[in-house]
Structure 1
Amino acid sequence: MVAAVPGAASGDARAARIQVRSVLTMTFLVFLGQFTLHPVLAPLTRSLGMREWQAGLIVSASALMVVLTSRLWGRKSQQLGRKPVLVGAALLAAVSLFAFAGVAQLGMAGAIGGPLLFALLILSRGPLFGTALSAVFPTAQAFVAEVTVTEADRVRGMAGLGSVQGLAMVAGSVVGGLLAGISLVTSLTVLPFAPLAAMLVGLIFLKSERPSELVARPVRVRATDPRVWPFLVVSLGVFTVFSMLQVTIGFIIHDRFAFEARTVPFVIGGALLAAGIGMLLAQGIVVPATGWRPAVLMRVGALTAACGFAATIASLPIPVFLIGVFFVGMGTGLAIPGALSAPTLLVSREEQGGLAGTLSSTNGITWMATPLLATVLYGFSPVLPLIVSLALILGIAVFAMLNTRIR
């Protein structure tokens, strides 16, 4: 974790810790709003009479905004300061989830339906929530890069940021599954309150930077930059396979295993919980304890995720499937801190916001393209997304071993 703020430039260590914890808490709460929806999405899709590809497109629309706006927000967080960016993003996320919940409930009540319902779900969940997400992670990542200096500190910092996402996945899986087990309406109603809480944290605890702490002209960092692109390939591949699993896991459990309709949301939540626990253990315990360099984390993480996918392909009992999902989460949790931290050690302070935006934007391509791709593949064969994911993550492992820049 980054709570100790090793190497921070701030003269007041306690104040710096408060700022770090506030940024991490806000990141957790906004992503909690995202992950709480995942156990609900498959049952909601069935309840509204929509197809799998429509659920995929709803997620993809949000990711499109991450791709389009992350680079901007990464630089703006250094230019305007993290407080206005994060507080504004949290408010926008809450508005989006309120709108999405309202539209979904109108659809379940039969007040609207067909193309109009589908369009409103995309509009409420896509442009608004996607723009909010695109501001949160680059801002948090640039901040972590700013307050850490050494390679070991930077890796631990990125792992801490990743573990916040893992914790949000765990909590979202539990909360979403439990609330969906009560009713879909209940789960949808609760969704917006997590980003609202994030907004309050920002307003109360985040300090505005002094003008001397801001960067007047943040430097753009392109995805083709030779210092960056090998690590983008790794993170892009890892996020793609993990997204593939997240999007299809609800449909796999619904269709492969003979659970009653009321039980399905709990099992989906349990599966997402297994992935989240794996990610949380990797980033919160394994990364700090081992002290592995970024290259080792990427290689071991990709191979670990490959083992997990191998266990999910065959129609084996649900415990085997859940163990496989756990190892996919653990592999992701190992590889991502390595891929995110390595390029931050190669760029200047003025480039950190631009780099964070580029990383977030490029990785957002996976959340844009993969949900639709995964659901289309699932329509051909329920096992096809898992086979494609296994082949891709094995390719990423080989790339991380052979590329000369990943050392």
Structure 2
Amino acid sequence: MPDPRSNKPTQSSIDPGAQANLVVGIVFLAFMGQMILNPIIAPLSRQMGLREWHIGATISLAAIVLASLSAYWGRASQRVGAKRVLAAGLVIAIIALSAFGIVSYLGMNQVVGGVGLVFGVVITRGLLYGGGISAIAPTAQAHLVTHAASENGRVKALGMIGAAQGMASIVGGVTGGVLAAAGGLLLPLVVMPVVMVIGLVVLLVSFAPQSQGQLFAKPQRIRFTDPRVAPWLATGLVMFLVFSSVATIFGFTVQDRFALSATATAGISAIYLTIMGVTMIIAQAVIAPKTGWGAAKLLRTGLTITLVATVLIWPTSSHALLVVGCIVLGVGMGLAMPGYNTGPTLKMSADEQGAVAGIINANNGLAYAIAPLASTALYGWNPLAPFAVCIALIAVVVIYAHTAPALRQ
């Protein structure tokens, strides 16, 4: 029985569903703090006097840091507890975003410039922020997976994490644009760390720490080449390379194929990407769990639909075809992602779940570090080239997913 003199909940009194929802909420707030920056990053960088590649390098560095540290954070969450690791990641991200806001203010007012400004942006938004945010997703995944009793339960839980990230992208983007329009470019920079502070307070007040019996003194490590996870990781890497490439060049291809102004391109691209994002959220959070399919079938089906979508998005002069392509891509990725995230966890023991969560997120970070540079380089060479490469890559992965024994079980 709980001690009547204590207000702390015992393990038996904790509602697992409420705790899971809280973890998903923390993921949403953490990534929303990041996504608020997206609509203002281009004008902000130009007002600071930075070149486009400076921001590209910063974002790629953040992805590289995320890929490097995800496995560490995943194992740490099983050693010291999810609450401590989530709190540490949020604190680091809050410090990083606050420092980035200060650096941006100094740059916009010409107090700092040149190499010093570039290093300030790279260190705060790239290195430090990447290190903090890399703790969130693997810790959330490891925590939810170890508390899910079935494969479908894991599909549902990991689909909710993906949906939270997708919703954060949409809400954060809209919020950033509205804040910038209402109060200038500095207002979103102030709000970003505040959003994460809210998440930190909610975590510290409401999230129950794990008992010692749920922790491991030495969580196991996993290699990318481990045969239990390698087929899933290889497939997921290509899947995210294709998706990230399409997202990166989307604005360029919309402007070029429809001969739009910069302002019109931003508005129309936002509409298309919002449609895609909402569809993906619905597919992950609602459709995937209701199918009752296992992880492998979800992955195979989602990849096949993604192939069709990539063909539909091929540059044409048809807005209708592009809308259909965005909807189909949202459905395809929304089904494939829960399958991809769940599959590698199924053959792992309890003390390996932190490592596998970390390695999955590291794999995703690697794709997002490579795709923007590669896709834009291909687009600059020939606007059709990145689409042709993406179709070829996803076609190969679809064939592999339907023939590899590990992805058919």
Go from structure 1 to structure 2 and tell me whether the alpha carbon gap of 1:63 and 1:189 turns closer, same or farther (over 3 Å shift).
same
Structural mapping, 1:178-217, within 5 Å: 178-182=178-182, 183-217=184-218
Instruction: Tell me which moved more, 382-391 or 153-162.
Output: 382-391
Aligned-residue offset at 1:406: 0.7
Contact 2:14 2:208 (C-alpha < 8 Å) held by counterparts: no
Match of 1:243 in 2: 244
Go from structure 1 to structure 2 and tell me whether the alpha carbon gap of 1:324 and 1:184 turns closer, same or farther (over 3 Å shift).
farther
Match of 1:7 in 2: none
Match of 1:5 in 2: none
Matched residue SS, 2:406: coil
Go from structure 1 to structure 2 and tell me whether the alpha carbon gap of 1:275 and 1:189 turns closer, same or farther (over 3 Å shift).
farther
Matched residue SS, 1:148: coil
Aligned-residue offset at 1:76: 0.5
Match of 1:27 in 2: 27
Go from structure 1 to structure 2 and tell me whether the alpha carbon gap of 1:359 and 1:284 turns closer, same or farther (over 3 Å shift).
same
Name the CA distance, whole Å, in 1 between partners of 2:388 and 2:382: 10
Name the CA distance, whole Å, in 1 between partners of 2:208 and 2:57: 38
Name the CA distance, whole Å, in 1 between partners of 2:261 and 2:104: 23
Q: TM-score, normalised on structure 2?
A: 0.89
Go from structure 1 to structure 2 and tell me whether the alpha carbon gap of 1:319 and 1:53 turns closer, same or farther (over 3 Å shift).
farther
Go from structure 1 to structure 2 and tell me whether the alpha carbon gap of 1:59 and 1:117 turns closer, same or farther (over 3 Å shift).
same
Name the CA distance, whole Å, in 2 between partners of 1:243 and 1:178: 25
Name the CA distance, whole Å, in 1 between partners of 2:235 and 2:15: 35
Aligned-residue offset at 1:84: 1.0
Contact 2:253 2:315 (C-alpha < 8 Å) held by counterparts: no
Aligned-residue offset at 1:146: 0.6
Structure 2's unaligned 5+ residue stretches are: 1-9
Match of 1:295 in 2: 296
Matched residue SS, 2:134: helix
Match of 2:97 in 1: 97
Aligned-residue offset at 1:405: 1.1
Deviation sequence 1:247-275 (CA, Å, 0-9, x none)? 33344445555555555544443333222
Instruction: Tell me which moved more, 364-373 or 112-121.
Output: 112-121
Match of 1:384 in 2: 385
Contact 2:257 2:317 (C-alpha < 8 Å) held by counterparts: no
Match of 2:282 in 1: 281
Name the CA distance, whole Å, in 2 between partners of 1:143 and 1:366: 24
Aligned-residue offset at 1:125: 1.1
Name the CA distance, whole Å, in 2 between partners of 1:307 and 1:194: 38
Go from structure 1 to structure 2 and tell me whether the alpha carbon gap of 1:214 and 1:14 turns closer, same or farther (over 3 Å shift).
closer
Between the two proteins, what is the percent identity of the paired residues?
A: 35
Aligned-residue offset at 1:376: 2.6
Match of 1:335 in 2: 336
Name the CA distance, whole Å, in 2 between partners of 1:113 and 1:334: 46
Aligned-residue offset at 1:364: 1.5
Name the CA distance, whole Å, in 2 between partners of 1:103 and 1:380: 35
Name the CA distance, whole Å, in 2 between partners of 1:50 and 1:319: 37
Go from structure 1 to structure 2 and tell me whether the alpha carbon gap of 1:399 and 1:36 turns closer, same or farther (over 3 Å shift).
farther
Name the CA distance, whole Å, in 1 between partners of 2:272 and 2:124: 27
Match of 2:368 in 1: 367
Name the CA distance, whole Å, in 1 between partners of 2:44 and 2:330: 24
Go from structure 1 to structure 2 and tell me whether the alpha carbon gap of 1:254 and 1:294 turns closer, same or farther (over 3 Å shift).
same
Contact 2:221 2:352 (C-alpha < 8 Å) held by counterparts: yes
User: What letter is aligned with 1:242?
Assistant: F
Matched residue SS, 2:126: helix
Deviation sequence 1:7-28 (CA, Å, 0-9, x none)? xxx9747522221111111111
Greater Rg by CA? 2
Deviation sequence 1:31-54 (CA, Å, 0-9, x none)? 112223233334444555555443
Name the CA distance, whole Å, in 2 between partners of 1:383 and 1:106: 41
Aligned-residue offset at 1:243: 1.9
Contact 1:57 1:372 (C-alpha < 8 Å) held by counterparts: no
Contact 1:69 1:134 (C-alpha < 8 Å) held by counterparts: yes
Contact 2:139 2:354 (C-alpha < 8 Å) held by counterparts: yes
Match of 1:396 in 2: 397
Name the CA distance, whole Å, in 1 between partners of 2:310 and 2:406: 27
Name the CA distance, whole Å, in 2 between partners of 1:383 and 1:184: 34
Contact 1:27 1:137 (C-alpha < 8 Å) held by counterparts: yes
Aligned-residue offset at 1:319: 5.0
User: What letter is aligned with 1:394?
Assistant: A
Name the CA distance, whole Å, in 2 between partners of 1:53 and 1:305: 30
Instruction: Tell me which moved more, 14-23 or 348-357.
Output: 14-23
Aligned-residue offset at 1:209: 1.6
Name the CA distance, whole Å, in 1 between partners of 2:119 and 2:261: 30
User: Are positions 1:54 and 2:67 aligned together?
Assistant: no
Match of 1:346 in 2: 347
Aligned-residue offset at 1:118: 2.6
Aligned-residue offset at 1:398: 1.4
Contact 1:177 1:268 (C-alpha < 8 Å) held by counterparts: no
Name the CA distance, whole Å, in 2 between partners of 1:221 and 1:13: 34
Deviation sequence 1:73-119 (CA, Å, 0-9, x none)? 11100000011110111121122222223333433334444443333
Instruction: Tell me which moved more, 157-166 or 112-121.
Output: 112-121
User: What letter is aligned with 1:296?
Assistant: K
Name the CA distance, whole Å, in 2 between partners of 1:322 and 1:114: 42
Contact 2:61 2:130 (C-alpha < 8 Å) held by counterparts: yes
User: Are positions 1:172 and 2:188 aligned together?
Assistant: no
Contact 1:176 1:269 (C-alpha < 8 Å) held by counterparts: no
Matched residue SS, 1:116: helix
Name the CA distance, whole Å, in 2 between partners of 1:305 and 1:26: 29
Contact 1:73 1:139 (C-alpha < 8 Å) held by counterparts: yes
Structural mapping, 1:116-265, within 5 Å: 116-182=116-182, 183-253=184-254, 257-265=258-266
Name the CA distance, whole Å, in 1 between partners of 2:312 and 2:228: 35
Deviation sequence 1:309-328 (CA, Å, 0-9, x none)? 22333142545434423332
Instruction: Tell me which moved more, 88-97 or 319-328.
Output: 319-328
Contact 1:238 1:336 (C-alpha < 8 Å) held by counterparts: no
Contact 1:61 1:127 (C-alpha < 8 Å) held by counterparts: yes
Q: TM-score, normalised on structure 1?
A: 0.89
Contact 2:65 2:131 (C-alpha < 8 Å) held by counterparts: yes
